[in-house]
Amino acid sequence: MFQKNKQKRKKLKDAEALKEWNKKFSALVFGTLLRKHKTICTGYAYLLKELAYHAGLSCVIIHGYGRTAQANIGGPGIANHSWNAVQLHNKWYLCDATWSSGAVDPEKAMFVKKYNDAYFLSDPSLFVRSHYPLDTTWLLLDDKPTLQEFLNRPLTYSTIFQYKIDRLLPETFDITASKGETVSFQFTRNAERSIEKLELNIKGAQESFSFYPELQQDVNGLYRVG
C-alpha cells in the first residue's frame, strides 16, 4: 500500500487530482485497517481522529510532505504523508501518530516499534522542519516558509524538539566548501537548559569518525561550531 500510494502521488501534480486520490486511497486504507489491524500514515491519522471524536475533541487529518533521509530532500517534492491537527482549549496543535510509533527498518523490511512523544502537540515552528501541509493554513504559522524553502532546508530529527532548536544556519541542506576552508554551523534554542557539549559525526565514502568540537555561544544566545 505504501509503494502504491508513493508511485501514484509521484504522478499527480494537480492539487485537486491529489485530493481526489487521497479520498479514494483513504477508503482502501481504512478497510485494511479494520480487517487486518495494519495500516500506514493515513490509517494512523484516521485512528487519532476517531479517538479524538470519542473524547469530544475537534481533530482533522492533514495531507502533505514528510521529510526523511529517503524522501523530499530537494527537488519538486512528493506529497507522501498524513498527520493530524487537534484542538484543545480553543487552540490547534499538530501531531504525528505515525512517526511517534516507530519506523520501518529498510534492510530488514520490517516495522520496529519505538514510542516517541516528540511529535505530539509540537511547536509549529519545529514541526515545519519535517512536515509541510498541502493546505498551508495548517502550518499554524504567521511567517510561512515556501515549499521550496522547506524541501531545501537542513534535515532534522525528533531530538530537535527535545533541545528546542528553533533556528539553523546555514539554512540549506547542500553546502559547498573548498578543501581547507572552515565551515561554520550555527543554531539558536528556545530553552533555558544549556548545552554542555556537542558531538559532530563525519561520514565519508572511505571512513567515518566523531569528535566533540568547541561550542561557542554569543551574547544573543547563538551557538556556533566550526
Query: Torsion-angle region of residue 130: left (phi > 0), alpha (psi -120 to 50) or beta?
Result: alpha
pLDDT at 132 over 80: yes
Q: Supply the angle between the helices 41-54 and 15-36 in degrees, to the nearest 10.
A: 70
pLDDT at 155 over 80: yes
Return d(Cα 160, Cα 18) in angstroms, integer: 30
User: Degrees (nearest 5) of the Cα angle 203, 207, 213?
Assistant: 55
Letter for the amino acid at 150?
A: F
Return d(Cα 52, Cα 49) in angstroms, integer: 5
pTM (2 d.p.): 0.84
The three grid cell numbers given for residue 108, joined into one nine-digit string: 530488514
Residues forming a β-bridge with 88: 91
**For 16-53, how does the pLDDT look when each residue is reduced to its tens digit (9 = 90+)?**
787 787 777 777 877 888 888 888 888 899 999 999 99
**For 176-193, how does the pLDDT look when each residue is reduced to its tens digit (9 = 90+)?**
888 888 888 899 888 777
pLDDT of residue 181: 87
pLDDT at 147 over 90: yes
For 194, how many CA atoms within 13 A lie in the half-sphere containing its CB? 9
The three grid cell numbers given for residue 90, joined into one nine-digit string: 480553543
In the structure, what pLDDT confidence band is assigned to residue 5 with cuts at 50, 70 and 90? confident
Return d(Cα 144, Cα 125) in angstroms, integer: 9
pLDDT of residue 173: 92
